[in-house]
Amino acid sequence: MSCRFILLTNNPRYKGRADLPVRFVDGAGKDVIAAGRDLIHKGWVLQNHPLYGNFRPHQQPFRTLLLKKDEKSGFDEYGLNLIEEAGLVYANDPHPLTPAQTPPRMLADCSEIDFELMKETLLKNDLIR
C-alpha cells in the first residue's frame, strides 16, 4: 500500500526539515486551516485535531496539520467537520494572533509549543523518532 504525508504549517521551526514532508503556508493559522480543508476535499485524511492544545487563535500564531493520503483512503468527513469547525473558531475570533504581529520575545516560545504539541502525532505516524 502506498501512502504519503504532508505537514502543513506556518511555523518556521519546520522549514528546511528534509526528514519531514513539509509544505510551508505563508500566513496565519487560518491560512493553514484553509489549506488543510482544501486537501481534505482532494482526498487527504486529517491526522490531528486542528485546534490541538486548546489554544485559541488569539493565543497561538502557529498552526500545524498532518494529513495522510493512501490508496484506501475514503473521503474524510469527520476531518472535514473538524477543520470547518476550526475555521469558524478562527473566523469568530476578533483578534487572531498572526506570526507578523507576535512580539519577538514570544515567537520562539510559540514555535516550540506548536512543535512539541505535534510531536506525538509525528511519532505515531513514524515521521520522527
Please provide the DSSP assignment of 18-45 as one string: TTS-EEE--S-HHHHHHHHHHHHHTT-E
Instruction: Supply the pTM of this predicted model.
Output: 0.93
Sign of CA dihedral 81, 83, 84, 90: positive
Which cell goes with 14? 519546520
Q: Write out pLDDT tens, residues 92-102.
A: 999 999 999 99
Measure the CA–CA gap between 49 and 33, rounded to whole angstroms: 11
E-strand ranges in 18-114 read 22-24, 45-46, 64-70
Residues, the chain, total?
Answer: 129
CA distance 47 to 76: 10
| pLDDT score recorded for residue 1 | 40
Whole-number pLDDT of residue 101: 92
Query: What parts of the chain have a pLDDT lower than 70?
Result: 1-3
